[in-house]
């Protein structure tokens, strides 16, 4: 599985690169803090496969990286995605290393 560090994500955001950011946490978690990604909770991700780009990098994250890794493994296995990246350490690591203004929970 391909991974991206939080520093690499920040650089992509700063450079306004073209990528899709998907948050697979629950809505309650998203409301606490988010990276302005598209919210598609893990439990409904397979109902929204058509919303996931195959034409550009897709960075998927959760709180710490476990749920997003599981989602990526299944999407690659079931649907043949090759452009998915797991955010290493999830939003927790982003809050620790990049943006301390994010609420940690």
CATH number at residue 45: 3.40.250.10
Per-residue pLDDT at 47: 97
Could you tell me the pTM of the whole model?
A: 0.97
Per-residue pLDDT, 99: 97
Q: Is residue 104 part of a domain?
A: no
SS3 9: helix
Summary mean pLDDT of the chain: 98
Is residue 45 situated within a structural domain? Answer: yes
Burial degree of 50 (CB within 10 A; 0-12, 13-18, 19+): exposed
Maximum CA extent, the chain: 37
Is residue 56 domain-resident? yes
Q: Kindly state whether residue 68 falls inside one of the protein's structural domains.
A: yes
Cβ contact 88:65 at 8 Å: yes
Whole-angstrom Cα distance, residue 45 to residue 84?
A: 14
CA dist 10 and 99 (Å) reads: 9
Number of domains in the chain: 1
């Amino acid at each position: 599985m391909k991974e991206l560090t939080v520093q690499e994500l920040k650089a992509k955001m700063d450079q306004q690169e073209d990528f899709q950011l998907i948050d697979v946490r629950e809505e309650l978690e998203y409301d606490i803090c988010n990276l302005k990604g598209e919210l598609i909770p893990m439990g409904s991700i397979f109902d929204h496969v058509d919303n996931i780009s195959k034409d550009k990098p897709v960075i998927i994250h959760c709180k710490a990286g476990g749920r997003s890794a599981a989602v990526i493994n299944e999407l690659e296995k079931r649907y043949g995605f090759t452009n998915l990246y797991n955010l290493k350490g999830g939003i927790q690591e982003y809050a620790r290393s990049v943006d301390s203004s994010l609420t940690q929970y």
